[in-house]
Amino acid sequence: MCTISATKDVEGRSGLVPVRGDDIIFLGTNSSSSTILLHTLDSVFYTTGTLKYWTRVLNASGYTFYLADRNNSINIQNIVEINDLLKVAYFERERTKDSKYCTMSKSGIKKVCQLVRESKSSVVFN
């Protein structure tokens, strides 16, 4: 649907690269540098702004992101598994030691589970 201009390094020395919105599995924060981390399955990209701002922008662009806790905004459409006990979402069915996951707060996981069920996706709940 859309692309976001971001950098491959937090200082911006790599220049701008396009990141497809569909590829973003979740957004995170880097409190030490006040940047937003765009997590894909195999990379991390950096941009400026706030988590609320980017969640709003991506949702207005046709995506379904939700602030799962104060540090993460999760792309509901990319979740494949949710562990209710650990309060984490996974984005790959076959996980490895390098697989990414997104943490959620107690209230965040309730809303994420509701959004997943409404989307009628084939997410596995553990």
Q: Which residues of 58-75 are buried (b: 16+ CB within 10 A; e: fewer)?
A: beeeebebbbbbebbbbb
* pTM of the predicted model as reported, rounded to 2 decimal places: 0.92
Per-residue pLDDT reduced to its tens digit, 102-123: 999 999 999 999 999 888 778 8
The proportion of the chain whose per-residue pLDDT surpasses 70, expressed as a percent, equals: 99
Q: What is the 3-state secondary structure (H, E, C) of 3-62?
A: EEEEECCCCCCCCEEEEEHHHCCEEEEECCCCEEEEECCCCEEEECCCHHHHHHHHHHCC
Per-residue pLDDT reduced to its tens digit, 63-100: 999 999 999 999 999 999 999 999 999 999 999 999 99
- Torsion angle of C-alpha atoms 29, 40, 117, 114, degrees rounded to 10: 0
Rounded Cα distance, 14 and 22, in Å: 22
Per-residue pLDDT reduced to its tens digit, 42-72: 999 999 999 999 999 999 999 999 999 999 9
Domains, the chain, ordered by start: 3-125 (2.40.50.1020)
**Predicted pLDDT of residue 32:** 73
